[in-house]
Chain A
Amino acid sequence: MITQDIRPILSALLRNRTGAVLVALQVAIALAVLVNAVYVVKQRVDKIGRPTGMDIENIFMVTSAGFAADYDHAATTAADLSWLRSQPGVRAATLTSGLPLSGGGSQNTLYPTPEVKGEGTSMNYFDVDESGIDTLGVRLVAGRNFRADEILPEDPTYRKPVPGFIVTRTLAKALFGTEDAVGKVTYDGLGRPMTVIGVIDHMQGSWVDWDKIGQVGLLPRRAFGPRALYLVRTAPGQRDALIKSAEEHLSVSEPRRVLQYVRSLDYYRDRSYQADRNMAIFLVTVTALLGCVTALGIFALATFNVNLRTRQIGTRRAIGARKADIVRYFMVENWLVTTAGVLLGAALALGVGYSLSRAYQLPRLDLYYLVGGVVALWATGQVAAWQPSRRAAKISPSVATRTV
């Protein structure tokens, strides 16, 4: 039945093909864009949604800078920390050398032997004190936390070796494979041994675009001045109130330094992902508009075709075609045109996907996206052609007997 239908429709299409070719071209471009845009958006959404490993909603940071000649960094940070820790609602606070997810931080290379040869392993490190793990809200899965007496004094030139440190599971795996990391030794760039004393489950480091973002190490060291950076973890729901009171207190508590920022940690996370988020928003917007324009184009062209063929439809009705036959004629015609476009579009989509995967070093376009895109465009075409087809079916057979 359908195959019988297709032949006259096809020959009619081929006789008057410009409009059909234009619609097919639109469908092809729309498919290529849709499939790849959805794919890229999915990558970005996944990237933004990766677990941070930290209690990110309940952490805020404070940064200050000492500037007077008689500024005492050790005394000031001790006073600040004891004030912060004494506030009701504060769970833990630490001095730190860097801010996770902020785009700024320090990186070091670790080597398997003291000769410091061959490929090292990158470690994004944060100096913290014995409250570091508690403050970040990361989970210790093996070994132990730092003791207060292990925290090394501030050391701007990094001269003193760090005998023991804590690593994420990802870093442990990069360093030692699947073996239990606690007690294992690795070597810094000067060949000095560093022993793993604890392993935390997961923590994201400084740079969201870094492919080794999970290779984080915590070092037991007081971050050096005259800039001070504190991380503070609060009880759920108390963060914003504490940001306010911390700002009020710390901006006046010590005149030999200035308070720079008091901000939530998710402010920095959001800022780091801003480009990804906006890219996703832009892609979704343009792709949605593209879908609308394509659907409207199909709709408008179908409408015109129906108008143009009013007499022909009337004649067909007069010689016995049912309403359903008329509807089917236009739906099949639309389906043929969309299919031609989809075939061309599939090739185009794969080509675009290939060049994107090269530009971004992404995995090749997943074919499920292509199948989904094809189905979506078929459906769009049929929906867009439905109303004009219904209108065609309503044309009265008597039209055939009138002139114009």
Chain B
Amino acid sequence: MMSYYLKLAVRSLRRSPGITSLMVLAIALGIAVCVITLTVHHGMSSNPIWWKNDRLYAVTLDSWDPERPADEDHPELPPSELTWRDAEAVTRSDIPLRSVRMHKAGGVLSSGDSRVPARPERVIARMTTAGFFDMFDVPFRYGGGWKATADAGPEPVVVLSSKVNEQFFGGADSVGKTIRWDDREYRVVGVLAPWHPAPTFYDLNNGAFDDPEDIYVPIGWTEKLELPSGGNTNCWNAEDIQSFADFLNSGCVWIQVWVELPDAASKARMQAFLDNYVAGERRGGRFKRPNNNRLTNVDQWLVDNEVVGNDNRMLVALAFAFLSVCLINTVGLLLAKFLGHAAITGVRRALGASRRQVFLQHLTEAGLLAAVGAALGVVLAGAGLWALRIMYATPRDGFTGLMHVSSWSLMITVALAVCATLAAGLYPAWRVGRIAPAVYLKSQ
């Protein structure tokens, strides 16, 4: 029966090629625009470490100006980074399974070996603690992270990104070799496999869709080399900063802190620890704002930091408005078309076709239309995402990486196509099934 309906549907669609192609195109465009905006939106808002969402928490403490919140637009949030001294104090706690404190830095990488032809290269470094790699499930190609004892020393060790390892060592196993960062030599202990978390949830301050850092160095070197932040430094209180030690003691926030808490009990203990620490500092004259110490999981962290902009939400709404116009259009055309052939349907009904059969026959036609439309829609969406990649052709690979037809987009397309069929086909098919055959037989 189904194949018969399909044959009828094909015949009916071919009878008026203009209208048919208009309907297919409308469905295809509607679906394509939705798939494009949803793919980008999904990519931007997706949690690149979702499997640890209930374990990883960003630590924030409200050490800001008593007069005003850190962000006037979000007065309920503490500053997104910590002061050096608070970060040190918080990560000394042994409640978390792991904890990291870290910041970005600059510097120039050069080969310690004159036989290596690579030119010196300005790089972005992440000054961090030993827990970073295990905590964020960072994949290694060679070697591994450094031991916790290397943090404080600090030991001259470095972990390279796969890109830098490619540039300086031709992609070979460089563990044990040395490389110069600014004017010092560091021993390579690990090389990462390609790793592109998008967004870079662990530090959203400077371009959430930029690539992660080129090299990773124990944070003890920050103090020793007096490295300023290569990311954001925000100060609320003009302090008389005479030396780097003064800066480390100041109220300026520039350090990111994350902790891994495996269960609710440890999270509660950590929260109590933070509150207790802040209460102690308060007695010393700091933290004059209301108590606001947070442990924020990754999902919420992305929301708090507004990784998905207003523009993106507006585009998704626009896409659905567009799809609805396309579908209304298709409903109108299908209805007009089905009713236009009412005489034939009348004859079929008179010859014994039940309402249900007439309904199914027309729904098949609508379904075929939607299927062809959806297929074309995927092609158009692919083309659209490709165009977007060109429009956003910048060094920000993390962002352009979001723009391709993924299995997720395909799933959305199928869902949209089914919805489109139901939305566009249901009413016209039902309507045509209710035709009274007698009216049409009479006029014959």
Q: Are A290 and B106 in contact (CB under 8 A)?
A: no
A158 contacts B332, C-beta separation under 8 Å: no
Q: Which residues of A contact B314 (CB under 8 A)?
A: 40, 356, 359
Q: Which residues from chain B contact A305 at a C-beta distance below 8 Å?
A: 336
| Residues of chain B with a CB closer than 8 A to A236's CB | none
A304 touches B340 (CB 8 A): yes
Note all chain A residues with C-beta closer than 8 A to B107. 65, 67
Chain A residue with minimal CB distance to B234?
A: A107
Residues B33 and A274 in contact, CB atoms below 8 Å apart: no
With a cutoff of 8 Å between Cβ atoms, the chain A residues found around residue B331 in the complex are 22
- Whether, in the assembled complex, A210 has its beta carbon less than 8 Å from a beta carbon of chain B, the answer is no
Of A23, A69, A278, A294, the contact of B183 (CB 8 Å cutoff): A69
Q: Is B182 an interface residue (CB 8 A)?
A: yes
In chain B, positions 189-217 with a C-beta closer than 8 Å to chain A are none
- Looking at the assembled complex, report how far the CB atom of A200 sits from the nearest CB atom of chain B, in whole angstroms: 25
List chain A residues, Cβ under 8 A from B339.
Answer: 308
Q: How far is the CA of A289 from the CA of B122 in the complex (A)?
A: 45
Do the beta carbons of B122 and A260 come within 8 Å of each other? yes
User: Which candidate, B51-59, B274-282, B321-329, is the interface stretch facing chain A?
Assistant: B321-329
Q: Does A116 contact B (CB under 8 A)?
A: yes
Contact A286–B319 (Cβ < 8 Å): yes
**Contact residues of B between 295 and 333, Cβ < 8 Å to A:** 309-311, 313-315, 318-319, 321-322, 324-326, 328-329, 331-333
Closest Cβ neighbor of A68 among chain B residues: B183
Partner of B328 from A26, A40, A66, A283 at Cβ < 8 Å: A26
A29 contact set on B, CB distance < 8 A: 321, 324-325, 328
Q: Which residues of A contact B401 (CB under 8 A)?
A: none
Bound-state Cα–Cα, A68 to B112, Å: 12
Chain A residues near B329: list those with CB within 8 A. 22, 26, 293-294, 296-297
Which positions 90-133 of chain B face chain A at CB distance < 8 Å?
A: 106-108, 110, 119-122
Chain A: CB-nearest residue to B23? A300
Name B183's closest neighbour in chain A (CB-CB).
Answer: A69
B318 touches A37 (CB 8 A): yes
B294 beta carbon closer than 8 Å to chain A: no
Give the complex CA separation of A282 and B326 in angstroms: 17
A22 close to B335 (CB less than 8 A): yes
Q: How far is the CA of A293 from the CA of B324 in the complex (A)?
A: 11
Q: Which of B29, B228, B315, B325 has the most CB of A within 10 A?
A: B325
Q: Are A157 and B337 in contact (CB under 8 A)?
A: no
Residue of A nearest to B243 (CB): A157
Bound Cα distance from A156 to B233, whole angstroms? 14
Q: Which of B180, B322, B391, B444 is the most central at the interface, judged by chain A CB atoms within 10 Å of its CB?
A: B322
User: How long is the Cα–Cα vector from A69 to B321 in the complex, in angstroms?
Assistant: 61
Residue contact A271 to B394, C-beta cutoff 8 Å: yes
| Contact residue among A40, A71, A307 (Cβ-Cβ distance under 8 Å from B340) | A307
Residues of A within 8 A of B246 (CB): 157
On chain A, the number of residues with a Cβ less than 8 Å from chain B's Cβ atoms is 58
Task: Please give, as numbers and ranges, the residues of chain B lying within 8 Å of A40 by CB-CB distance.
Answer: 314
Asked if B368 CB lies within 8 Å of chain A CBs, one says no
A189 at the interface (CB under 8 A from B): yes
Which residues on the B side are within 8 Å of A290 (C-beta)?
321-322, 325
Residues of B within 8 A of A260 (CB): 122
- Are the CB atoms of B242 and A33 closer together than 8 Å? no
Instruction: Decide if B19 is an interface residue (CB 8 Å cutoff).
Output: yes
Contact of A25 among B240, B328, B388 (CB under 8 A): B328
Q: Which of B119, B180, B183, B391 has the most CB of A within 10 A?
A: B183
When the two chains form their complex, are residues B120 and A67 in contact, meaning their CB atoms are under 8 A apart? yes
With both chains docked as a complex, state the minimum distance between the C-beta of A240 and any C-beta of chain B, in angstroms.
Answer: 20
A260, B332: Cα distance in complex, Å: 60
A393 CB-CB contact with B under 8 Å: no
Within 8 Å CB of B332, what residues of A?
A: 18-19, 22-23, 26, 297, 300-301
Asked if B443 lies at the interface with its beta carbon under 8 angstroms from chain A, I say yes
Chain A, Cβ-Cβ closest to B180? A67
Q: How far is the CA of A293 from the CA of B24 in the complex (A)?
A: 12
Q: Which residue on A lies nearest to B240, using beta carbons?
A: A190
Report yes or no: B325 in contact with A258, Cβ–Cβ below 8 A: no
- Is A281 positioned at the interface, with any CB of B under 8 Å from its CB? yes
> Is the C-beta of B152 less than 8 angstroms from some C-beta in chain A?
no
With a cutoff of 8 Å between Cβ atoms, the chain A residues found around residue B444 in the complex are 404
Q: Does A223 contact B (CB under 8 A)?
A: no
Q: Which residues of A (286-330) have their CB < 8 Å from a CB of B?
A: 286, 289-290, 293-294, 296-297, 300-301, 304-305, 307-308
**How near does chain A come to B183, taking the closest CB pair, in angstroms?**
4
Given known pairs A116-B238, A278-B392, A404-B443, the reply for A301 and B333 (CB within 8 Å) is yes
Q: Is A368 an interface residue (CB 8 A)?
A: no
Q: Does A390 contact B (CB under 8 A)?
A: no
Q: Does B366 contact A (CB under 8 A)?
A: no
Interface string of B398-422 (1 = CB under 8 A from A): 0000000000000000000000000
Q: CB within 8 Å of B: which of A335-352?
A: none
Interface residues in B357-378 (C-beta closer than 8 Å to A): none
Q: Are A65 and B108 in contact (CB under 8 A)?
A: yes
Query: In the complex, A44→B278 CA distance in Å?
Result: 44
Q: List 18 A-B contacts (CB under 8 A).
A: A18-B335, A19-B336, A26-B328, A29-B324, A33-B325, A65-B107, A67-B108, A67-B110, A158-B241, A258-B108, A278-B388, A279-B311, A286-B33, A286-B319, A286-B322, A359-B313, A403-B443, A404-B444
Q: 4 closest Cβ contacts across the A-B interface?
A: A189-B238, A67-B108, A69-B183, A304-B336
Can you add 12 more A-B contacts, CB < 8 Å, to A37-B318, A274-B392, A301-B332? A33-B322, A65-B107, A274-B391, A274-B394, A275-B309, A278-B391, A279-B315, A293-B322, A296-B26, A300-B22, A300-B332, A300-B333
